[in-house]
């Protein structure tokens, strides 16, 4: 089903439910926020919202995922909320999305929680954890394992209501101009990588650099960085990394199922009528699943193009390298939990879900993949 058809169908379904709710309600004066710095709300009229993103404008997968979320909200609310999307740098820089939504500069934000670790290190759990949960498991933890409640609790002091609003699925290990044959090959390497994975690299002697997507190609081309990771074949092909790096490594040990985050100013969200709150929540969930579906569909053809047309050399990290990365990852995550009470609470929930999910994942998803490989390779 095409996106436009999906949006229309979703809007029709929600509209029926909303009509039933509103039919029995008396017309009331819409609340208007009087809090300093908070956007003014009049729920009797069309609301004009801004969405700031951490992505280049209209960038495939991530930027277009933000656009899709905006379209969903407008369609599902019957035009009661209209959203204008700003790419990174248009209204605020990529890494200032969190602050912009918290302050009311924009009602909505679209980014990744590990970009805000300077605000609270525990936020990183809600994007991805090295050797942690895959995309399906992250969805399970957030929606059915207590993750959403912990996320809400963590962001409440900042005046934000967070949601999962996309997932890239498992990512690639990164682009390099030299082969990685041992852990020693990481020492001294300047590599673009955010989040907990960056701390793992640092402990192993590399120098992690956190750059927004729009600055990566030039930095790799100029030699400001030696290597980079971004997402996977679909996005990496769009950025043209094959022009400035020779080797493309897998698997993405550092990002096994990265959640993209939808942020709503908490006062704005709480001022909405119950039906609009439900619509925003449903739109976020739909955007989450749609992005994962798109990356799943497009990564295969993009990888074929990278290898077949651009002669990219696909490499797997050696087992010994992965084992050492895994051990250091465990130390980094446990270290974070030990020093921060909020991180400890979230880590305990995350780890309990990981252990529980692993027993089924090994039999279900991994078991099936191995069985399929016997026949189809």
Binding residue numbers: 171, 192, 229-230, 255
- Tabulate helix, strand, coil % of the chain (nearest 5): 55, 15, 30
Question: Residue 174 pairs with which residues in a beta bridge?
Answer: 249
Nearest residue to 187 (alpha-carbon basis) of 208, 206, 209: 206
**Which residue ranges are tagged as binding site for substrate?**
171, 192, 229, 255
Tokens of residue 288, six digits: 């989450």
Instruction: Give per-residue burial for 15-50: e unless 16+ CB within 10 Å, then b.
Output: beebeeeeeeeeeeeeeebeeeebbebebeeebebb
Instruction: Give per-residue burial for 212-230: e unless 16+ CB within 10 Å, then b.
Output: bbbbbbebbeeeebbbbbb
Tokens of residue 70, six digits: 């905006």
Q: End-to-end CA distance of the chain, in Å?
A: 29
**Which residue ranges are tagged as binding site for Na(+)?**
230
Instruction: Kindly report the three-state secondary structure assignment for every residue of 149-175.
Output: HHHHHHHHHHCEEEEEEEECCCCCCEE
Pairwise CA distance, residues 365 & 369, whole Å: 6
Pairwise CA distance, residues 193 & 238, whole Å: 18
Question: Residue 261 pairs with which residues in a beta bridge?
Answer: 111, 164
């Amino acid at each position: 089903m095409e996106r436009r058809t999906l949006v229309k169908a979703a809007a029709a379904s929600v509209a029926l439910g909303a009509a039933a709710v509103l039919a029995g309600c008396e017309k009331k004066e819409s609340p208007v926020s009087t809090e300093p710095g908070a956007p003014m709300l009049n729920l009797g009229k069309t609301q004009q919202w801004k969405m700031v993103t951490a992505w280049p404008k209209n960038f495939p997968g991530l930027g277009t995922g933000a656009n899709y979320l905006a379209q969903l909200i407008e369609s599902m609310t019957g035009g009661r909320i209209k959203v204008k999307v700003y790419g990174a740098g248009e209204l605020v820089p990529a890494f200032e999305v969190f602050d912009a939504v918290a302050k009311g500069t924009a009602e909505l934000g679209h980014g990744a929680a590990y970009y805000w670790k300077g605000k609270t290190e525990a936020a990183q759990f809600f994007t991805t954890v090295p050797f942690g949960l895959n995309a399906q498991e992250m969805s399970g933890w957030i929606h059915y394992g207590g993750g959403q409640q912990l996320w809400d609790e963590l962001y409440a002091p900042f005046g934000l209501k967070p949601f999962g609003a996309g997932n890239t699925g498992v990512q690639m290990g990164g682009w390099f101009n030299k082969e990685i044959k041992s852990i020693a090959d990481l020492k001294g390497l300047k590599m673009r990588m955010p989040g907990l994975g960056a701390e793992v690299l640092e402990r192993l002697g590399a120098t992690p650099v956190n750059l927004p997507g729009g600055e990566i190609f030039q930095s790799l081309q100029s030699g400001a960085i030696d290597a980079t990771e971004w997402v996977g074949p679909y996005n990496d092909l769009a950025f043209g990394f094959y022009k400035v790096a020779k080797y493309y490594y897998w698997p993405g040990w550092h990002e096994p199922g990265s959640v993209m985050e939808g942020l709503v100013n908490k006062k704005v969200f709480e001022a909405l009528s119950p039906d609009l709150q439900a619509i925003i929540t449903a739109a976020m969930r739909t955007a989450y699943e749609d992005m994962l579906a798109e990356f799943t569909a497009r990564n295969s053809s993009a990888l074929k193009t990278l290898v077949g047309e651009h002669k990219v050399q696909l490499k797997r990290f050696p087992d010994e390298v992965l084992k050492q990365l895994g051990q250091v990852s465990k130390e980094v995550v446990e270290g974070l939990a030990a020093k921060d009470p909020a991180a400890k609470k979230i880590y305990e929930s995350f780890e309990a879900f990981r252990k529980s999910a692993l027993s089924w994942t090994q039999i279900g998803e991994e078991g099936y993949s191995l069985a399929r490989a016997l026949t189809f390779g």
